[in-house]
Structure 1
Amino acid sequence: MSDDLRLGVIGVGGMGRGHVGAIQATEGVTLAAVADTNREALDAVTDGTGVPAFADYNEMIDQVELDGLVAIVPHHLHRGVVEKACEAGLPLLKEKPLARNMTEAVQFVEMAEQAGIPFMLATQRRFIPSYARLKEIADNLGEIFLARGQYVFRWSRDFAWRGQWETAGGGALHDMGYHTVDMLIWYLGLPDWVSTEWSSRAFDQWDYSTDDTAITVFGYSSGTIGYLLTTWATSPSEEAFFLHGKQGVAVADRSGIRHTDLADNVVEEIPTSGEGGGGLHAQMAHFAHCIRTGEQPLTAARTNLENMAFIEAAYRSAAEEARVSPKDYLPEAGA
């Protein structure tokens, strides 16, 4: 392994450009090669850099000496990337979600563990200071009785593969909502029950069947309840997570955190500053650290099985019109 970690990126359009920027901003890491089927996307990140570019990521991995992979591809293409990373013995940072369904998720985790490679999910909200601070101060709020998360924005183009269950595995809840689910589980653990309603009625101009809007109510045996609202069908854009306790309230978004007492007096108000890339830079530094040290990532693939259990149970609850326990969908539950 060279002094600088040599990373290859699979998929450099959209979010892929953000990951490329994170590599370029991270000390001790080098962008060694990129792969994408879109020539324009390749040119946009490689022109004038001398970075090798490939239309086929298999050729990139076979021909370039690499220390790790970063993959941002459509959900139905994740399997090939995971299989190739395992075959090559390369640590993998892969965009969320972990998989299209729990069966596929377990297969991915087991493949990586058998290959002995670090396998990390890009759930970068955990690396944004405001969201991390919310976890740190949660105990100061007293017993949490209500939690709520929301992620709202309006999609501006055809959903394409994201609009079909076979290729995407789910819609807004499974895709962008994955971040909100991840924060809930990070803060409070996996709920004991969920109940979801979803719709796919917001866009008449496109043909799609996955959810564009979903509301999931959840609860714990302790009595704590809450909801997650996810939609990529409307405005204004908003992303935030709230924890309501018997001694205070805290809300975090990408711009900062606000902690108040029950009379709405400010206890702490901190704007987010100094972290570039919306958590992507710190996430990339953590990935590099895990490659060098062999430590398990904060967002290791195995821990994401709880995220997948939540989402699987949420969709099942909508189909059955009943509360469903996410814990029944964990591998150890025999699901």
Structure 2
Amino acid sequence: MRRRAAVIGLGHQALEDHLPGLLGSNRAELVAVCDSDPDILRRRRESFQVAAFGQVADLLDAAAPDFVIVAVPHHAGRAVVEECAGRGVHVLKEKPFATSLSEARELAAICRAGQIELMVTLQRRFNPIYTSAEQFLDQIGTPFLIDGRYTFHTDDPGGGWRGKVQQAGGGCIIDMGYHLIDLLLWYFGLPSRVMADFSATAVPGSGYDAEDTAVIQLGYESDLYGSVLLSRWVAPKTEKLHVVGTRGSVLLTKGRVQRLDLRGAVVEELSRPHAPANAATAQIDYFCRVLDGERLNTSSPRHQLAHAAFIASCYQSKAAGHYIDPKEML
């Protein structure tokens, strides 16, 4: 029997990932959608032929879903999670988990009190390329250098709510950077020192205050160190993580992972040229298995507190002008 699922927030992410992901799932079925915009709601209701609601509470009461996929603007996430937890409805939530470390702690407590599972959407964890990278890292000796980059160009990097710190919690670090931060924590754990510099000046006079470009310096007690460049202004579109060790290196790009020798020659590589258009179905099916007790929730509120501490240390270090240890925030 498939689990009943609803989607709350019908913007780009829901249309590109979550709705098609549910339609492709054999463990969940779409029973309802919700959005505060009547025009968007009408169009999605006609497209997917399911119940549609303008209020979260109405959806939860009438549709009685087993879980919801929450893809709302960052500042609206807490209220939706609280509403769901109060009714015992599980949540698959678009990143970030929270807009601040204090909110992350509050959300973790809300989920515990409501006895619900919450999992943050981190699609790369369901792509074999990224799983293979973890195995390749074991073959390069002692890693000591990280070079990360995630950039693309948009003409309006501060457009809409994403350009406002009060609503988004930050800019490219907490938003697009969340994916690269997750890879760092997945592969290496939480660093012992983090320092970030960033700006919101790519389009002078635009009035946004959420950073469009950031450079993060980080280091571990193991002497592993490096930097990450994040930008929604810098072209070309690039996503990479290069880790150098004493016996070689691993170069991870979107759709390919390579193990290189000390001279940079490719020793082995894996690519995924025929990958599905999105990993949403695999993620949804995994979450259903979590709810059935068959899998561990590796992106739970407990795990996401580390992400929130990393991000908070970035913003705090900018103000302080020195490295911050995110572990001291937990």
**Structure 1 residue 253: deviation in Å?**
2.1
CA distance in 2, matches of 1:204, 1:183: 32
CA distance in 1, matches of 2:276, 2:205: 36
Mapping of residues 29-178 of structure 1, within 5 Å? 29-157=28-156, 158-178=158-178
- What SS is found at the alignment partner of 2:170? coil
**Structure 1 residue 184: deviation in Å?**
0.4
**Structure 1 residue 274: deviation in Å?**
4.9
| Equivalence for 1:10 | 8
| Equivalence for 1:27 | 26
Judge which range, 262-271 or 14-23, deviates more. Answer: 262-271
**Structure 1 residue 44: deviation in Å?**
4.0
CA distance in 1, matches of 2:67, 2:73: 20
AA aligned to 1:82 is V
Assess, with a 3 A threshold, how the Cα gap between structure 1 residues 49 and 96 changes in structure 2: closer, same or farther.
closer
TM-score, length-normalised on structure 2? 0.95
1:258-299, Cα deviation, whole Å (9 max, x unpaired): 111112232222112454244322211111111222643121
Mapping of residues 290-329 of structure 1, within 5 Å? 290-293=290-293, 295-329=295-329
| Equivalence for 1:283 | 283
- What SS is found at the alignment partner of 2:210? coil
**Structure 1 residue 231: deviation in Å?**
0.5
- What SS is found at the alignment partner of 1:216? strand
**Structure 1 residue 46: deviation in Å?**
3.1
AA aligned to 1:45 is R
CA distance in 2, matches of 1:281, 1:274: 16
Assess, with a 3 A threshold, how the Cα gap between structure 1 residues 114 and 273 changes in structure 2: closer, same or farther.
farther
**Structure 1 residue 205: deviation in Å?**
5.8
1:23-67, Cα deviation, whole Å (9 max, x unpaired): 111112101100012234334433253211111122111111211
**Structure 1 residue 301: deviation in Å?**
2.0
CA contact (8 A) 1:131 1:253 kept: no
CA contact (8 A) 2:21 2:279 kept: no
CA contact (8 A) 1:241 1:252 kept: yes
| Equivalence for 2:194 | 194
| Equivalence for 2:244 | 244
CA distance in 1, matches of 2:21, 2:273: 16
Mapping of residues 217-296 of structure 1, within 5 Å? 217-293=217-293, 295-296=295-296
- What SS is found at the alignment partner of 1:257? strand
CA contact (8 A) 1:128 1:278 kept: no
- What SS is found at the alignment partner of 1:234? coil
CA contact (8 A) 1:144 1:224 kept: yes
CA contact (8 A) 1:22 1:277 kept: no
1:120-167, Cα deviation, whole Å (9 max, x unpaired): 001222112211211122111111101122110122445221112211
CA distance in 2, matches of 1:104, 1:47: 36
Judge which range, 69-78 or 259-268, deviates more. Answer: 259-268
TM-score, length-normalised on structure 1? 0.94
Q: 2:182 matched to 1:182?
A: yes
| Equivalence for 1:333 | none
CA distance in 2, matches of 1:312, 1:278: 30
* Count of equivalent residues: 328
| Equivalence for 1:213 | 213
1:61-112, Cα deviation, whole Å (9 max, x unpaired): 1111211010001111111111011011011110111111111001101110
- Gaps (5+ residues) in structure 2? none
- What SS is found at the alignment partner of 1:23? helix
CA contact (8 A) 2:143 2:224 kept: yes
**RMSD across aligned C-alpha pairs, in angstroms?**
1.5
CA distance in 2, matches of 1:36, 1:168: 18
CA distance in 2, matches of 1:263, 1:159: 43
AA aligned to 2:102 is T
Q: Percent identity?
A: 31
- Gaps (5+ residues) in structure 1? 331-335
AA aligned to 1:19 is H
- What SS is found at the alignment partner of 2:180? helix
Judge which range, 313-322 or 277-286, deviates more. Answer: 277-286
- What SS is found at the alignment partner of 2:44? helix
